[in-house]
Amino acid sequence: MFFRMIFGTLFRQWKKMLMIAFTIALGSSLATAMLSVMLDVGDKVNQELKTYGANITVVPKENSVVNSLYEVEDGGTAVAFLREDELGKIKTIFWAFNIVDYAPFINTKVNIGGTETDAVGTWFNHHMELPTGEQLDAGVTSMRSWWEVTDGKWLDEQTADNANCAMIGTALAQKLGVKAGDTVHISGSASDADITIAGVFDAGGDEDEKIFMPLDTAQSLGDLDGKIDSIEVSAITTPDNELAVKAAKDPKSLTISQYETWYCTAYASSICYQIQEVITDAVASPVRQVADSEGAILEKTELLMLLITILSLIGAALGICNLVTASVMERSAEIGLMKAIGAQNAAVSGLVLTEIISTAVVGGVVGFFAGWGFAQIIGHTVFGSSIEMRAVVIPLVAVLVLIVTLAGCIPAIRMMLRLSPCEVLHGK
């Protein structure tokens, strides 16, 4: 009988129930969309902030000590080098997944048609097959996204004849009077080469006075085979907290459990530490300008989204609550009649609750998928990638919908239980 009554309500009053289900679906889609976006916004914004370039630099240990001493006298000739064959190891550290991009650099003095200048060897879009099966295109093409190529195009390392190409800064190009497509004769300290200019770029800084070429080319010009000066690493990091600051000073000052927490959290300092572990005689340090600002912006964005999410959750909750209350109150005549023919308070409450909750489950599930769709719309429109669905969203939304629906029923049911059947039926 109980089920027949419930089915009766659900089917005969389907219009009313549909409206409740619809409202609950709206509320739950709102909650799902906002929660998913909020939980993923950190990663997404972090990815966007990568346009600011590297947040970690790696230099040889000896260099970081005596660097300045020789820089002034010799004009930038480093005395210690990192090893090119170790570059791949950066993608094998604990937080390898967080390393989105990196590029090695080697500086050498060259002479182009009588003009002394700095040549930089680097990766442009170096293709790597990682032991994990992952593939990665790393290099300055993505790490110098603010370069404006004013003439020609980005050097494509993956085409066959890359070795004899280079990209040149606007200031240097102007000085030499060259443009994209020209071939220049470059003499380095060890060998000479004829290089074709693939593109001219405007970096808005010192790099405008340099010429950038593939790593091998620069190494052979300066007799620096297998050697690199520095590595710039772009990693997704967690904003620093007290632990990270303490660890950055001296990892040995931590207790074992603190050390584990630190090592297994993607702080800039722990990623630096792990890079130092795999690269021989290297010092990795966070670039404060990028790392600190990233932290601040991430924190603000996440907090902003959290507050907006809370507001919309409250809105969704009250919206559902309201409608449930309104629609239950509306049924006072029906409930009065049931009570008049002898229904117990418990039986009436059970009936109403079951009806509403079964409606809520349907609405909640539909809403969940709709909300997932909304989250994807946001992800694709704003960030051009899909929003990852976190498992934690499902129980959160389920609990929210259930609690809110119940909370909406309670005041209405209490009111109905106080109803005296004859008053209701009399129409007072």
Partner 1 sequence: MKKRQMYFRMITASLVRRRSRMLVALLSIAIGATILSGLVTIYYDVPRQMGAQFRNYGANMIFTPTEGTFTAEDMEAGRSRIDSGNIVGVTPYRYESVRIHELPVMAAGTDMEQTKSTSPYWSVEGTYPASSGELLLGAGLSEQFRLRVGDEVTVSYTPEFDGRSGEETVLDNTKDFTVTGILETGGPEEDYAYMAMSDLEELTGISGVIDLAELSVSASSDELKAYTEKINAEVPKIGARLVKRVTESETTVLTKLQALVLLVTVIVLALTMICVATTMTAVVTERRKEIGLRKAIGASNGGIIKEFMGEGMLLGAAGGIIGSVLGYIFAQQVSINVFSSSISFMPLIVPVTILVSVAVTGISCLLPIRSATQVDPALVLKGE
Considering only residues 78 to 137 of the shown chain, the ones binding partner 1 according to CB under 8 A are: none
What DSSP string describes 315-344? HHHHHHHHHHHHHHHTTHHHHHHHHHTT--
SS (H, E, C) 369-392: HHHHHHHHHHHHHHHCCCCCCCCC
Q: How far apart are alpha carbons 53 and 266 in whole angstroms?
A: 18
Residue 75 DSSP one-character state:
S
Beta strands in 207-327 (DSSP E): 210-214, 227-228, 230-235, 282-286
Does residue 17 bind partner 1 (CB under 8 A)? no
Q: How far is the CB of 117 from partner 1 (least distance, A)?
A: 19
First to last CA, the chain: 30
Does residue 22 bind partner 1 (CB under 8 A)? yes
| Backbone dihedral angles phi then psi of residue 146, each to the nearest 5 degrees | -85, -5
Of 16 and 89, which has the nearer Cβ to partner 1? 16
Q: What is the CA radius of gyration of the chain?
A: 32
Of 188 and 379, which has the nearer Cβ to partner 1? 379
Of 190 and 307, which has the nearer Cβ to partner 1? 307
Which residues within the stretch 395-424 sit at the binding site for partner 1 (CB under 8 A)? 415
Residues 46-65: x where in contact with partner 1 by CB under 8 A, - otherwise, as a string: --xx-xxx--xx------xx
Q: How far is the CB of 170 from partner 1 (least distance, A)?
A: 11
Q: How far is the CB of 84 from partner 1 (least distance, A)?
A: 23
Residue in 37, 173, 197, 218 binding partner 1, rule: CB under 8 A: 37
Of 65 and 340, which has the nearer Cβ to partner 1? 65
Which residues within the stretch 280-319 sit at the binding site for partner 1 (CB under 8 A)? 285-293, 296-297, 300-301, 303-305, 307-308, 311-312, 314-316, 318-319
Does residue 270 bind partner 1 (CB under 8 A)? no
Q: How far apart are alpha carbons 428 and 419 in whole angstroms?
A: 11
Q: How far apart are alpha carbons 416 and 422 in whole angstroms?
A: 13
Segment interacting with partner 1, rule: CB under 8 A, options 189-197, 219-227, 326-334, 345-353: 326-334
Residue in 10, 30, 211, 228 binding partner 1, rule: CB under 8 A: 30
Q: How far apart are alpha carbons 412 and 325 in whole angstroms?
A: 5
- CB contact at 8 A, 290 and 46: no
Which residues within the stretch 189-228 sit at the binding site for partner 1 (CB under 8 A)? 202-205
Q: How far is the CB of 85 from partner 1 (least distance, A)?
A: 25
Which residues within the stretch 334-373 sit at the binding site for partner 1 (CB under 8 A)? none
Residue in 115, 280, 322, 344 binding partner 1, rule: CB under 8 A: 322
Q: How far is the CB of 288 from partner 1 (least distance, A)?
A: 4
Beta strands at 165-169 and 56-60: parallel, antiparallel or unpaired:
unpaired
